[in-house]
Every structure is written in structure tokens, then in C-alpha cells.
Amino acid sequence: MDHLQRSRLNLLTSHMLDRGALLRLDPAVIAERAADERARFIGIHHLRIAVDETDLQCPAWLTPGEAKDRFGRCEPCVYLGEEDNTPYFALLLDHELAKTAEGFSGLRALAREVNDAQATLLSYAQAMAAWHHRYRFCGRCGSATIMDQGGHVRVCGETQCGETHYPRTDPAIIVLVERDERALFGRKPEWPSHRYSTIAGFVEPGESAEQAVVREVAEETGIDVTAVRYHSSQPWPFPGSLMLGYHAEAGSDHISLNDRELDDALWLDREEIVTRIDQGLFVPPPSISISFRLIEDWFDREAPFTLRQLCQNNGVAEF
């Protein structure tokens, strides 16, 4: 399987949206699309998505008229692109509603209720809204910034400065490390009980993604990585990461929690995972995450049943 095919199997990566990068340069075209009754608005409020008022499990795909009725306006909005003659917009609602406003739900919950293409669109909308919220002021001179190009840039309002700010994506690595028949898992103290996942961390300036894999694994677990293979990637809009997934091999197996970011790390083979899931002592990461995919691709290689079957049969929560 090539990297493009494998990446498409990750949730939040599957839409066929035409992002219309050239259209964004013409404000009149964007305004026309935003007024089109075929347009759909995704309301975003502090990393939560507006849901249907009669079905809280369903995101609200609002027409311009519905957006005005519910929120009093259709802007500021970000042009996300077009699919099947439907223009999609993210409607930014952070400023005037109370943080606890009702009628919104988290992407993690909604992603399980909608198809992959819709989950991807919601993820894109959320990532753009989060960026706008964090870049209201110029990082160079501190003046207020102004949205432009259909919401895909923010320009400093101070003419002496005029800095252009582009949407940020922060690369992070995530890696399943294996040695012989075992894989390396870690858990953070703030996670739910018995949740274990693969090792992850942000790529630092001046560092390649592969170097970040080696460094993060050594910092968090003391394990020496000897080989790194790219797997696939996944946007992770909490608030703006791009997860670069890897499989890696370890040259050592003595664990040392060097930077104390994890409160536990351990090696498990497939049989131990089966036993622990059965006993409720191992909860894998949510199935929407690339970490689950990394574990699954390793586990399924040599198990008599798949990790998904194992989780379903044991009623693993949040699977």
C-alpha cells in the first residue's frame, strides 16, 4: 500500500473538497458563494461545533438563512471550498457567545456519528477557527489583524507593519516502536484509567521528523530507536497539529521515564494486549486517531483476529 492510500484510511483525511485556493483571492466571488442558498455554514465556538437543535448528535449544516436566524449573522466566515456544487464555510462564533453556550458538541464525539468526508470537513473548519482565534493580533507588532482571502490569511492592520499571517499547522510525530514481538506503549497522567498509546511529541525547530522520533522516544522512555519507517499522516485539529505517523525499531528495551511526561511505559506483545483488554487493564487510544491505526497495523499483522474486533467484543469504551 502506498502512503497516499494508507493516509486516506486515517479518519479526518478523506474529503474530496475543492479548496478553491485561487477563488479566495477574489472577495466578490467568496461573497457570492456565501450568499448562495446552496452554501452550508459550520458554526464553531471555542473548539466546539454547532449541532442540530433537535438532534444533538448531528452537526448543523446551516444555510445562510438558517445561520442568520440562529446566530444573527453569516460572518466572519472562512471559505473551506466546494463539493458537489455546495460551498462550505466555517462560521466563527468565539467572540459573542458565552464559553458555556449550549447547542455545540466536540469533534471527537461528532466524528463517530457522521461519515468520514463530513468528519474531515468538520476537522478542517475547526482547525481554521482555532487559528483565527489565536491570531487576532500580529505576532510582529501586536496590532490587531484583519481577515483576508476568504479567511486563509490575516494581515496586520498597522500599515507600517502589514505582516501577512498564514494558517499554522504544527508538525508532531507519533510512533509505534517495536522490538521482537513486543510494542512500546506509554500513558500520560491526565488520561482516563488504563489508557495507553504510542509515543508522540512535537517536532522542534531545526530538526527533521525522523530526528524528532528518535529524540522523543529517548526523552520519554529511554529507548534507543535504530530504524524509522514512515506510515501515514493525519490532521489533528486540537487545536492545529499535523500528526506524522511512524513505525520504528528499538535497539534496547530498558525503559526509563526520563522527562516524566509519561507516568508509565511498558512493552507488550499481542497476547498480553488481549489479556489486558479482557481484564480492562489496557484501553487503546480512540479509533479516530492515527495512534490507533499505528497499533492496529502492527497488531493485525500476526493476530488471529483484528484489534477492532477485539475492542468491539470487549466493549471497549470510546472505541
Q: How far apart are CA 191 and CA 263, in angstroms?
A: 10
Sequence-ordered list of residues with C-beta below 8 angstroms from that of 56, at least 6 positions apart, any chain: 105
Whose Cβ is closer to Zn ion: residue 157's or residue 222's?
Answer: 157
Whose Cβ is closer to Zn ion: residue 161's or residue 242's?
Answer: 161
Whose Cβ is closer to Zn ion: residue 135's or residue 230's?
Answer: 135
Q: How far apart are CA 147 and CA 62, in angstroms?
A: 22
Shortest reach from residue 136's CB to Zn ion, in Å: 12
* Burial (0-12, 13-18, 19+ Cβ within 10 Å), 100: exposed
Answer positive or negative: Cα dihedral of 139, 144, 147, 148. negative
Interface with Zn ion, residue 21, by CB under 5 A: no
Shortest reach from residue 168's CB to Zn ion, in Å: 16
Q: How far apart are CA 164 and CA 179, in angstroms?
A: 47
Whose Cβ is closer to Zn ion: residue 148's or residue 249's?
Answer: 148
- For residue 295, which of 221, 317, 236, 286 has the smallest C-alpha distance? 286
- Site for Zn ion (CB under 5 A): how many residues? 8
- For residue 38, which of 99, 4, 82, 76 has the smallest C-alpha distance? 82
Shortest reach from residue 141's CB to Zn ion, in Å: 3
Shortest reach from residue 101's CB to Zn ion, in Å: 31
Beta partners for residue 87, in sequence order: 82
Whose Cβ is closer to Zn ion: residue 106's or residue 162's?
Answer: 162
Whose Cβ is closer to Zn ion: residue 30's or residue 138's?
Answer: 138
Numbers of helices and strands, H then E, in the chain: 9, 14
Q: Which of residues 117-176 bind Zn ion (CB under 5 A)?
A: 138, 140-141, 143, 156, 158, 161, 163
Shortest reach from residue 158's CB to Zn ion, in Å: 5
Shortest reach from residue 129's CB to Zn ion, in Å: 22
Q: How far apart are CA 8 and CA 203, in angstroms?
A: 23
Nearest-5° angle of CA 252, CA 181, CA 264? 60
Sites of contact with Zn ion (CB under 5 A):
138, 140-141, 143, 156, 158, 161, 163
